[in-house]
Amino acid sequence: MPEFCDVALPVPLDMVFTYRVPAEATPVVGGRVLVPFRQRRMTGIVVELHDRKPSVKTKTILSVLDVSPVLDDQLLRLGRWIADYYLAPLGEVFRTMLPLNAEFKRSIAYRITKEGQLTLHLAGMSGSSARSQRTPEEQAAEVRVLDYLAAQEPEPGEIIQVREESLRSAARVSKLILSGMVRKKWLVREDVSAVRDAARTIKIALLKSADGKLNDNQRRLVETLAASGGRIPVETLQALEVPRTTLSTLVKRGLVEIIEEPAGFAVSRSKPRPSFEFDFNSAQQGALNRLREAVAARKFSGILLHGVTGSGHACCTRRWTLRHSPRP
Confidence (pTM)? 0.50
Contact partners, residue 98, CB within 8 Å, separation at least 6: 32, 70, 71
- Cross-strand pairs, 105: 194
88 pLDDT band, cuts 50/70/90, is: very high
Q: Are 4 and 18 in contact (CB under 8 A)?
A: yes
Measured CA to CA, the distance from residue 85 to residue 83 in angstroms comes to 6
Tens digit of each residue's pLDDT (9 = 90 or more) over 98-111: 876 556 667 788 88
Outline where DSSP puts E strands in 75-132.
104-105, 108-112
Percent of the chain exceeding pLDDT 70 equals 80
Indicate the average pLDDT of the chain. 82
Report the pLDDT averaged over residues 64-90.
92
According to the model, what pLDDT value does residue 15 have? 92
